[in-house]
């Protein structure tokens, strides 16, 4: 199969051979100004005129896929890149395992695939909208640059999905691409599709939790789609994952740096309360973890799901690293054991594995989050504190799936709704927490300087030292 070369000097940088496909090229060039209008209205508008030290995807090689330079965000070169294949891909998930992967959308899966792509696509602009004001309280120029890097790359992820909609879904796909620019995060009349992407993200503790937990959900969703029998989708997601790694780094290390600083301030304070020293107390960090982690668990879908079974059977989605972690790609003979609420208590049930595929992916996600929590606890241990962070139970504070509509404590024990209501501000980021966090987050725009509530990172980024002027204010 022919590999399209990288076209960089075109209106839309790409390696999908846009210059050979004038009809598609025109359609995307028609969408481009609307995208830029959306970016201008809903992106980090107040920083549009600033030079930001950004990396831009310019190739698909493992090494050297990115170029670093000062760029004004509206001038960012949003491109369409698919990880190349050197040979015909084979389906390795579900009933069609072993057959050639699809280069076109099979008629019977057209609606399902469109829905999968639109749902993924919708999260990309949503997160930019959720984060659009955070530049005004950035703890440093380093962090501000990282925020903007995440934002422009989420924009590129939207491009990746819109390309698939335009190329493979005809008029329906073009209509969907328009609607992606019309919905707005948190708007009661035209909200984003998934609940988590309508939650406010209005300070940096939430931003780091978002990039830690929500972008990590994105990683697992992209990883599942990377196994798809629809090869253009698999190749799009493979390349998106290279960018996603940085978003996860931003979140995980951002929380690490807050934990480090909070531990220092906790020790300094006579009452052992970092808030007393103008920082973020450890309980508030735990509440932010509880809040964002549980909203993100919802994103994996129902625990027992005939949709999930169908997606797997058809090969539309696989498990995390399906190809190299599993031998049996049919998953027909196994069962998954889970706790199901029934009549006010929990009953252990066996579910056919295919119907539990959402839960299987959620397990991998939770294990990854637990690894990060252990890392944050290491910091506390090193600082000589006995406090430890803990992920809440997967049943706690859920809005989707079998646990939604029931109330549990963070350990996962069923509790009456009144008890949950009475305790919820102890367990979850509250309006008072958010007001406090916003009050301490004054912007720091001097190169190399750091806000009081966060420790500096170990090093700078993009080949530059920490005191580099990452954003020219």
As measured in angstroms, the least distance from the Cβ of 127 to Fe ion is 7
Stretch that binds Fe ion, among 18-26, 109-117, 214-222, 372-380 (CB under 5 A): 214-222
**Rounded distance between C-alpha atoms, residue 266 and residue 261, angstroms:** 9
As measured in angstroms, the least distance from the Cβ of 147 to Fe ion is 12
Q: Indicate whether 433 belongs to the interface with Fe ion (CB under 5 A).
A: no
Site residues for Fe ion, 136-155, by CB under 5 A, read: 154
As measured in angstroms, the least distance from the Cβ of 154 to Fe ion is 5
As measured in angstroms, the least distance from the Cβ of 211 to Fe ion is 7
Stretch that binds Fe ion, among 15-23, 243-251, 394-402, 437-445 (CB under 5 A): 243-251
**Rounded distance between C-alpha atoms, residue 276 and residue 281, angstroms:** 9
Q: Indicate whether 215 belongs to the interface with Fe ion (CB under 5 A).
A: yes
As measured in angstroms, the least distance from the Cβ of 460 to Fe ion is 21
| Contacts with Fe ion, 96-125, as mask; x by CB under 5 A | ----------------------------x-
Reading across the β-sheet that carries 51-57, which strands appear in turn? 66-72, 51-57, 471-472
Q: Which of 192, 78, 174 is nearest to 129 (CA)?
A: 192
Residue placing its CB nearer to Fe ion in the complex, 25 or 157: 157
**Rounded distance between C-alpha atoms, residue 378 and residue 282, angstroms:** 14
Residue placing its CB nearer to Fe ion in the complex, 130 or 284: 130
Total residues contacting Fe ion (rule CB under 5 A)? 6
Query: Can you tell me which residue has the tokens 């995440």?
Result: 150
Q: Indicate whether 157 belongs to the interface with Fe ion (CB under 5 A).
A: yes
Residue placing its CB nearer to Fe ion in the complex, 247 or 398: 247
Residue placing its CB nearer to Fe ion in the complex, 197 or 230: 197
Q: Indicate whether 156 belongs to the interface with Fe ion (CB under 5 A).
A: no
Q: Indicate whether 247 belongs to the interface with Fe ion (CB under 5 A).
A: yes
Residue placing its CB nearer to Fe ion in the complex, 122 or 124: 124
Stretch that binds Fe ion, among 237-245, 308-316, 353-361, 451-459 (CB under 5 A): 237-245
| Contacts with Fe ion, 51-80, as mask; x by CB under 5 A | ------------------------------
**Rounded distance between C-alpha atoms, residue 252 and residue 145, angstroms:** 16
Which stretches of the chain bind Fe ion, using CB under 5 A?
124, 154, 157, 215, 244, 247
């Amino acid at each position: 199969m022919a590999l399209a070369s990288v076209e960089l000097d075109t209106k839309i940088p790409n390696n999908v051979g846009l210059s050979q496909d004038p009809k598609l090229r025109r359609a995307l060039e028609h969408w481009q100004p609307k995208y830029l209008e959306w970016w201008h209205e809903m992106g980090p508008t107040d920083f549009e005129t600033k030079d930001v030290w950004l990396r831009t995807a310019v190739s698909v090689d493992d090494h050297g896929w990115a170029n670093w330079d000062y760029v004004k965000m509206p001038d960012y070169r949003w491109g369409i890149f698919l990880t190349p294949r050197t040979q015909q891909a084979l389906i390795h998930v579900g009933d069609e395992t072993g057959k050639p992967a699809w280069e076109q959308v099979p008629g019977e899966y057209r609606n399902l695939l469109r829905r999968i792509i639109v749902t993924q696509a919708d999260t990309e602009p949503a997160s930019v909208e959720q984060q659009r004001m955070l530049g005004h309280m950035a703890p440093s120029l380093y962090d501000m640059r990282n925020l903007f890097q995440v934002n422009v790359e989420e924009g590129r992820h939207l491009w990746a999905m819109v390309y698939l909609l335009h190329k493979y879904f005809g008029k329906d796909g073009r209509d969907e691409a328009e609607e992606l620019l019309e919905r707005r995060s948190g708007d009661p009349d035209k909200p984003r599709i998934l609940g988590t992407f309508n939650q406010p993200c209005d300070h940096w503790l939430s931003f780091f939790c978002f990039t830690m937990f929500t972008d990590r959900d994105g990683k697992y969703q992209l990883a599942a789609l990377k196994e798809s029998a629809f090869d253009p989708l698999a190749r799009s997601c493979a390349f998106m994952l290279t960018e996603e790694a940085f978003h996860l780094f931003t979140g995980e290390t951002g929380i690490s740096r807050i934990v480090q600083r909070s531990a220092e301030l906790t020790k300094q304070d006579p009452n052992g309360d970092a808030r007393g020293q103008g920082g973020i107390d450890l309980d508030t960090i735990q509440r932010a973890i509880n809040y964002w982690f549980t909203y993100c668990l919802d994103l994996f879908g129902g625990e027992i799901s005939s949709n999930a079974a169908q997606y797997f059977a058809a090969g539309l989605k696989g498990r995390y690293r399906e190809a190299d972690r599993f031998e049996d790609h049919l998953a027909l003979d196994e069962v998954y054991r889970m706790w199901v609420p029934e009549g006010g208590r929990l009953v252990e049930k066996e579910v056919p594995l295919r119907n539990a595929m959402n839960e299987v992916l959620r397990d991998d996600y939770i294990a990854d989050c637990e690894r990060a929590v252990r890392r944050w606890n290491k910091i506390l241990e090193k600082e000589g504190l006995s406090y430890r962070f803990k992920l809440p139970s997967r049943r706690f504070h859920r809005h989707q799936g079998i646990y939604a509509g029931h109330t549990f404590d963070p350990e996962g024990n069923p509790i009456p709704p009144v008890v949950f209501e009475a305790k919820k501000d102890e367990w979850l980021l509250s309006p008072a927490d958010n007001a406090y966090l916003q009050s301490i987050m004054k912007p720091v725009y001097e190169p190399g300087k750091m806000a009081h509530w966060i420790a500096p990172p170990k090093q700078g980024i993009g080949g530059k030292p920490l005191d580099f002027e990452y954003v020219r204010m």
